[in-house]
């Protein structure tokens, strides 16, 4: 692992968190050698992070006096300056402002923290500086902590209720409950905990469980050893069975140790109304070591947090605090925990108050907050559309002044989408100020993410590091002489030309974290930290504005911030990194005071290229491609003043008129009119941009609109003009070299290259020299293509010594590529040697006529035309089909109005939910992923609100959950339901989606690695890693030089050399029908990859596997209809020998039996009708075996009979009637002979006799179960384990001598053994019962486990209940507790809430 920040994969959300985190915060943390917490991240490719506890002592380093942006020069840190650097405030002048205005420290301001949740127990988050509650409300907006508490129970005479988990709970008699109704539900506590906390608890629980388990193993081994010592030579059959039983116990215990998989404790929740408020109590005994702790009756009831502001802690071991909220009249309980430490850290930066440690206060210690958890615990901590929408609703409901959101992701459509629309309403109508992180995906340009860096109504914040922060918080040996933007901070402009980053703020801090981390503070850095720093600074401004009666407007505040910020860097293009600069609270305050009489206006900018369609507009001018830089272009700019929705037409809109001077920062390049008279309806003007005389590289300009009457106000609006003039590649072969580049810490080199037409991949080499200590570089390339997220390739490379490294990556020909090379800001900072870098890029490409190859299911191949335009290339095509996509339509669609106020928009509209149900079946175990092409891979740049899916088996066990970024998950064979939950307030949108097509994508894998059943899945496959899964079934395709090649089998095409300009053609053939996956249906699609070129680096691997090739394309095969049944219509049945009347009589009889089988007997009336018909038919057909078998089946299904002994006797009598109706001698005689499979009549007879044998076996089986149950009921209890162990070495003869009664069970068992394999899963339960009767519980367990493993159907609850009862009988308490937890996993009573 690297020793600092990691980079992300370019394909998905890539700037807001760690590679292995299941969220995407705008956080960047330095990885240290101690105190590291890491989390899984499987789909978004965010940056990796870790954390470090606050240093316990100050350090000496060289620094100096501060200037406006926090620069330090040559001074030694004192304890106070060190502590101040841990929570930076000086950089934005917040410390000076609060010192001058101590009452303007955020008092009267409420901030909504949209994040992973805030811990109300965290240090510094209890009260404000003026003694008010710090946290006003804590909400889980995602629903991940929701519990279905719609089940209502009443207490018995002893004050006990039955919890949803099945536990008996004692209710505290002092709790008021006028209705006497108790709502109950339960939750696996791990579902409420972070992965880090869960891992810690699992280690603790495993340690305790293992101690008990080792005791059980030791006892079992001891019993076996004692038996061996007592019976040195075992020859008696029964003694052998006794020893086998002891050995089976030992084996079972050892296997359990290997397959242990802790699903966590279960907590019972009880909700009731005390006449005034909804109250909540939890039973957390399963979390406690002491059985007297955690009882429901001892719980201090909680209510919705905003009412009493109280929270609980699950247990001392987890140290995890939580709050509760009750919705829908007690039917939904929300238990709110955080899904990572991120949100608490963010809240602490903005508002923490430490009266004894004021230097560690947050920026606005007087401000209050509400915590809106938008990170879904079910998804690790990924935000969801549901969470985002509910958070906005809550912010408006609580009349918040500010929103901070340190989440986001790349987007293909800036300033667009459902969430952006809602944000605009919140800002423009309700005057909330929205602050968000710009992202951590730099240093390349156009890497700002949504929503923070791409939304006009949001203040996007970049991350800045000062010398003091470097020396103190980061503990670097020699801090930089001046402050700078963190290397990884995302840069502008947006793809539509907006600046992207508005301002910068300190991007690192040591701030409070949740108590479950077992520490008070932690160092994190990222734009996630810069955003709350800026938000806290804005809270100071709002505090002052409210105190002085100045109207608060997002428009005026943003203008003040941007026009008073201190520039970071001296070049115009530095604004693309830092925005207008480092915010300054005191200067912004002065600006607000001076401009308070001016109207609060936001100037919306719309830019169109003259002569082109106006359907799409931009917010700036961005000339990136070579063709745009070769001539002048004319642009039409429309400036529209926007007032808040509550502005008065007559008093504000009509009088508005401003004389604007338009100022270009470089008139030779960007020309605009000199003046503009602007009214409320807006005004347009033309701009001419002439980049023809510019040098290659990056150039940035602005057109500023200045108030002629008050030029001190600074720019009222800015039109950004960004020009990246690329260099042309003229060499042949096309190779570009950048030699002699010199790097110091934080230095960035940007090169812009016009990728030659025909290029599709790059092979690059980076050589370093001239340094001593290790150097760390970020290497990014980025291209922009319409309606796509920026195409980004990135690497973090560490050079321990001067050497060369090679890279390969895909490019798009004809598009400008930025190459950004940056030495990490703190890399080599203690060394005085510069790093010399040479970077060489070689362009390669094979142009083809089909970017996506579609094989239509016929036998015809597809022709591919290939051409090399740049230089000679080796053509060696490779193609593989390694996934199957099967389309499904929903079998059910339910549309409903969501019942709670948390789903009512500020406009008053109630959100609707559409739930679609899909069914699919897996014939073998597989790794699958659901895909919804319309909705996947977009959170912000979509007009749909949200989606969430759950996949469950027929037992309602959840196997997978997901949202816009579905994950692959392993599934055993079986039938599954996928429920998709869609939300929107527009019913027409949802109506159109009632037949939404969904694909189940399955990896083609080795059949030897399928999961035969759930038990195997739990106990074996949980120990298998993904690397064990081989795509052995993947279908490799062949290539031909002739169109008849696939049929004739000749003319194979392997490889050739493409000469520039010459075209070569070949064919890719369809897959061999025999190689297609089994059970694949018509309409399915096989999907894979095809590549054409061979790499110089790693040529062997890239040539054989197209997925390893940086330039591969999609290939798919449409599965045709199955071949016609060859046997269909063959032959015909011989004429029937029975008369018409006989056949009619049989048909009538069979119909009567069918009707009997279809009758329900759930009620007494239905049961009575069934019994009458059964008796009538039995008198009519007394010896007809199928009828008697159907009657037996009906009796067995009556599982709720009150008189169990009578009911079982009825089953025995019915089974005897079936047995007596069958001529067993004739049956035995038949099966002793072989039948001719080609004789149709013989085959019919065989089928009939097999059916009769199965009916006989079923009767004997049910009779045996009934005999055993009667025996158990008459004894009043099951056979104790102690007796079984004590009498284990008795022979059957000795046991039989003790009873003069015949053993009916044993006689029946022996009869059943004659006809079927008693070890099969169908009849094995009787064998288990037999072993249990004989006290051989270990053998009974082994037989039962074998049955479960061999059972190809979904897990049967009865088998697992039997397993649990056997474990109880043996006395393994710890295993019984473990199995009970798993019972709730395998057989939940209902599906969880969305």
Q: Which of 436, 489, 528, 577 is catalytic?
A: 528
Token pair in block for residue 589: 């305050």
Nearest residue to 142 (alpha-carbon basis) of 192, 182, 83: 192
Q: How far apart are CA 649 and CA 1305, in angstroms?
A: 93
Rounded CA separation 1104/1107 (Å) = 9
The single residue of 342, 431, 644, 984 carrying the catalytic annotation is: 342
Return d(Cα 539, Cα 416) in angstroms, integer. 27
Q: Which helix (H) or strand (E) holds 423?
A: helix 418-430
d(CA 1392, CA 451): 30
Look at the chain and count its residues: 1394
- Backbone dihedral angles phi then psi of residue 748, each to the nearest 5 degrees: -125, 130
Helix (H) or strand (E) segment spanning residue 1266: helix 1240-1275
Pair of tokens at residue 188: 């696996």
Tokens of residue 1293, six digits = 């003869």
Provide the β-strand partners of residue 880: 1036, 1089
Strands (E), 235-315: 266-273, 278-283, 312-313
Contact (Cβ atoms closer than 8 angstroms) between residue 735 and residue 727: no
CA distances from 922 to 830, 979, 996, 1022, 1029 (A): 59, 17, 21, 19, 17
- Give alpha helix (H) positions in 595-721: none
Work out the end-to-end distance of the chain between its first and last CA atoms, rounded to an integer number of angstroms. 37
Give yes or no: 342 in active site: yes
1374 catalytic? Reply is no
628 preceded by a cis bond (ω within 30 of 0): no
Q: Please give the Cα distance from 387 to 143 (Å, whole number).
A: 8
Residue 78 burial class via C-beta count within 10 angstroms: exposed 0-12, middle 13-18, buried 19 and up:
exposed
- CB of 382 closer than 8 Å to CB of 22: yes
**Is the separation of the CB atoms in 436 and 960 below 8 Å?**
no
| Structure tokens that stand for 448 in this block | 């700002």
Write out the E strands in 205-336: 266-273, 278-283, 312-313, 321-327, 332-336
Cα–Cα distance between 669 and 1018 in angstroms, integer? 68
Quick one: tokens of 940? 């912000």
- Here the tokens at position 481 are 């002489």
Cα separation, 660 vs 674, in Å, equals 8
Strand pairing of 110-115 and 402-405?
parallel
Closest CA to 724 of 662, 663, 790, 664: 790
Q: Which two tokens stand for residue 1292?
A: 């059957």
Nearest to 859 by CA among 1125, 1114, 1045, 1089: 1045
Q: Is 1236 a known active-site residue? A: no
Sequence-distant (6+) residues with CB within 8 A of 517 are 37, 196, 341
CA distance 304 to 307: 6
Closest CA relative to residue 605, chosen from 637, 648, 568, 558: 637
* CA distance linking residue 7 with residue 47, whole number of Å: 5
Phi first, then psi, for residue 1102 (nearest 5°) are -65, -30
Pairwise CA distance, residues 324 & 308, whole Å: 11
Question: Catalytic pick from 95, 105, 115, 245?
Answer: 115
Q: Is the distance from CB of 1281 to CB of 1369 less than 8 angstroms?
A: yes
Q: How far apart are CA 431 and CA 424, in angstroms?
A: 10
Residues tagged active-site: 115, 342, 528
């Amino acid at each position: 692992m690297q020793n600092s920040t990691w980079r992300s994969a370019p394909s998905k959300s890539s700037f807001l968190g760690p590679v292995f985190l299941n969220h995407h915060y705008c956080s960047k943390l330095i990885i240290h050698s101690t105190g590291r917490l890491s989390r899984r991240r499987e789909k978004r490719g965010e940056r990796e992070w870790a954390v470090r506890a606050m240093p316990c002592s100050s350090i000496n380093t060289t620094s100096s006096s501060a200037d406006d942006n926090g620069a330090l020069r040559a001074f030694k840190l004192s304890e106070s300056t060190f502590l101040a650097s841990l929570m930076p405030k000086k950089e934005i002048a917040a410390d000076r402002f609060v010192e001058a205005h101590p009452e303007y420290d955020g008092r009267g301001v409420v901030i909504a923290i949209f994040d992973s949740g805030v811990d109300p127990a965290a240090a510094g988050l209890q009260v404000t500086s003026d003694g008010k509650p710090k946290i006003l409300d804590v909400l889980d907006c995602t629903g991940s902590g929701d519990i279905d508490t719609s089940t209502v129970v009443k207490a018995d005479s002893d004050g006990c209720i039955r919890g949803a988990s099945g536990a008996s709970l004692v209710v505290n008699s002092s709790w008021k409950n006028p209705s006497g109704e108790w709502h109950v539900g339960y939750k696996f506590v791990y579902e409420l905990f972070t992965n880090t906390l869960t891992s810690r608890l699992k280690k603790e629980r495993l340690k305790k469980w293992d101690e008990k388990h080792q005791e059980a193993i030791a006892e079992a081994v001891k019993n076996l050893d004692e038996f061996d010592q007592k019976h040195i030579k075992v020859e008696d059959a029964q003694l052998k069975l006794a020893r086998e039983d002891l050995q089976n116990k030992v084996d079972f215990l050892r296997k359990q140790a290997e397959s242990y998989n802790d699903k966590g404790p279960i907590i019972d929740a009880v909700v009731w109304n005390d006449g005034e408020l909804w109250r909540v109590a939890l039973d957390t005994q399963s979390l406690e070591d002491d059985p007297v702790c955690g009882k429901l009756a001892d719980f201090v009831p909680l209510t919705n947090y905003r009412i009493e502001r109280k929270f609980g802690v699950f247990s001392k071991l987890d140290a995890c605090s939580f709050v509760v909220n009750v919705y829908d009249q007690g039917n939904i309980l929300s238990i709110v925990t955080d899904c990572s430490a991120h949100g608490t850290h963010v809240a602490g930066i903005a508002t923490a108050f430490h009266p004894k440690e004021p230097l560690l206060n947050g920026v606005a210690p007087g401000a209050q907050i509400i915590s809106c958890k938008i990170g879904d615990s079910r998804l690790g901590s990924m935000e969801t559309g549901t969470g985002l929408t509910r958070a906005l609703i809550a912010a408006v409901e609580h009349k918040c002044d500010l929103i901070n959101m340190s989440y986001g992701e790349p987007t293909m459509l800036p300033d667009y989408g459902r969430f952006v629309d809602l944000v605009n309403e919140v800002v423009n109508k309700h005057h909330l100020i929205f602050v968000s992180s710009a992202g951590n995906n730099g240093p390349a340009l156009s890497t700002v993410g949504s929503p923070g860096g791409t939304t006009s109504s949001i203040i996007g914040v970049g991350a800045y590091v000062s010398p003091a922060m470097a020396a103190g918080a980061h503990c670097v040996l020699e801090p930089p002489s001046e402050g700078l933007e963190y290397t990884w901070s995302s840069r502008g402009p947006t793809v539509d030309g907006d600046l992207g980053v508005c301002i910068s703020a300190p991007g690192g801090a040591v701030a409070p974290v949740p108590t479950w981390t077992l520490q008070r503070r932690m160092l994190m850095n990222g734009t996630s930290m810069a955003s709350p720093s800026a938000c806290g600074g804005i809270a100071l401004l709002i505090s002052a504005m409210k105190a002085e009666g100045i109207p608060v407007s997002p428009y005026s505040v943003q203008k003040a911030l941007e026009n008073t910020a201190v520039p970071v860097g001296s070049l115009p293009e530095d604004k693309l990194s830092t925005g207008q600069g480092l915010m300054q609270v005191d200067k912004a305050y002065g600006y607000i005071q001076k401009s308070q009489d001016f109207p609060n206006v936001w100037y919306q900018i719309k830019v169109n290229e003259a002569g082109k369609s106006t359907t799409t507009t931009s917010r700036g001018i961005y000339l990136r491609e070579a063709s745009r830089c070769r001539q002048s272009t004319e642009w039409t700019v429309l400036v529209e003043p926007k007032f808040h929705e509550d502005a008065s037409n007559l008093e504000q809109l009509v009088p508005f008129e401003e004389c604007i001077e338009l100022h270009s920062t470089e008139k030779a390049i960007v020309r605009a009119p000199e003046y503009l008279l602007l009214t409320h309806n807006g005004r347009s003007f033309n701009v001419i941009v002439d980049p023809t005389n510019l040098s290659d590289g990056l150039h940035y300009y602005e057109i500023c609109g200045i108030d002629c009457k008050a030029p001190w106000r600074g720019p009222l609006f800015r039109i950004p003009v960004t020009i990246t003039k690329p260099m042309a590649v003229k060499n042949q072969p096309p190779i570009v070299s950048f030699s002699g580049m010199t790097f110091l810490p934080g230095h960035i080199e940007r090169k812009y290259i016009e990728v030659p037409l025909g290029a599709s991949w790059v092979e690059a080499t980076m050589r370093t020299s001239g340094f001593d200590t290790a150097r760390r570089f970020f290497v990014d390339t980025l291209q922009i293509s319409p309606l796509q997220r920026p195409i980004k390739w990135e690497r973090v490379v560490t050079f321990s010594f001067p050497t060369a490294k090679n890279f390969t990556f895909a490019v798009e020909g004809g598009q400008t590529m930025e190459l950004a090379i940056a030495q990490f800001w703190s890399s080599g900072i203690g060394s005085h040697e510069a790093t010399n870098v040479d970077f060489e890029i070689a362009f390669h490409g094979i142009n083809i006529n089909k970017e996506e190859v579609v094989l239509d299911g016929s036998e015809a191949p597809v022709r591919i035309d290939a051409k090399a335009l740049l230089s000679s290339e080796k053509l060696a095509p490779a193609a593989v089909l390694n996934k199957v996509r099967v389309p499904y339509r929903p079998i059910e669609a339910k549309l409903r109005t969501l019942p709670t106020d948390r789903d009512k928009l500020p406009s008053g509209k109630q959100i609707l939910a559409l739930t679609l149900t899909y069914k699919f079946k897996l014939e073998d175990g597989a790794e699958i992923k659901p895909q919804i092409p319309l909705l996947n891979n977009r959170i912000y740049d979509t007009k749909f609100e949200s989606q969430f899916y759950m996949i469950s088996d027929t037992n309602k066990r959840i196997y997978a959950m997901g949202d816009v970024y579905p994950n692959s998950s392993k599934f055993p064979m079986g039938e599954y339901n996928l429920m998709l939950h869609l939300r929107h307030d527009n019913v027409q949108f949802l109506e159109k989606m009632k037949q939404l097509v969904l694909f189940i994508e399955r990896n083609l894998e080795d059949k030897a690695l399928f999961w035969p059943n759930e038990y195997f899945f739990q106990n074996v496959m949980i120990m298998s890693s993904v690397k064990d899964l081989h795509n052995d079934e993947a279908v490799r395709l062949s290539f031909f030089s002739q169109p008849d090649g696939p049929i004739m089998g000749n003319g194979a095409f392997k490889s050739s050399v493409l000469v520039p300009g010459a075209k070569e053609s070949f064919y890719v053939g369809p897959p061999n029908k025999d190689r297609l996956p089994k059970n694949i249906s018509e309409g399915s699609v096989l999907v894979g990859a095809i590549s054409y070129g061979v790499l110089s680096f790693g040529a062997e691997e890239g040539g054989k596997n197209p997925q390893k090739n940086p330039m591969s394309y999609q290939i798919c095969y449409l599965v045709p209809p199955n071949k016609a049944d060859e046997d269909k219509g063959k032959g015909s049945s011989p004429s029937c020998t029975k008369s018409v009347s006989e056949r009619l009589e049989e048909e009538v009889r069979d119909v009567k039996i069918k009707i009997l089988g279809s009758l329900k007997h759930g009620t007494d009336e239905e049961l009575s009708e069934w019994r009458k018909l059964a008796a009538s038919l039995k008198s009519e057909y007394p010896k007809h075996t199928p009828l008697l078998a159907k009657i037996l089946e009906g009796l067995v299904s009556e599982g709720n009979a009150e008189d169990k002994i009578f009911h079982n006797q009825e089953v025995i009598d019915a089974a005897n009637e079936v047995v007596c109706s069958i001529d067993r001698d004739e049956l035995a005689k038949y099966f002793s002979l072989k039948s001719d499979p080609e004789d149709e009549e013989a085959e019919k007879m065989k089928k009939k006799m097999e059916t009769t044998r199965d009916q006989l076996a079923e009767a004997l089986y049910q009779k045996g179960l009934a005999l055993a149950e009667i025996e158990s009921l008459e004894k009043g209890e099951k056979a104790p384990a102690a007796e079984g162990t004590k009498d284990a070495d008795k022979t059957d003869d000795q046991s039989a001598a003790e009873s003069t009664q015949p053993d009916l069970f044993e006689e029946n068992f022996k009869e059943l053994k004659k006809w079927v394999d008693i070890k099969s899963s169908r009849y094995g339960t009787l064998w288990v019962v037999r072993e249990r009767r004989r006290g051989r519980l270990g053998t009974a367990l082994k037989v039962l486990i074998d049955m479960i493993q061999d059972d190809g159907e979904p897990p049967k609850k009865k088998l697992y209940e039997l397993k649990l009862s056997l474990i109880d009988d043996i006395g393994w308490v710890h295993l019984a507790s473990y199995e009970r937890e798993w019972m709730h996993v395998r057989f939940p009573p209902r599906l969880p809430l969305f």
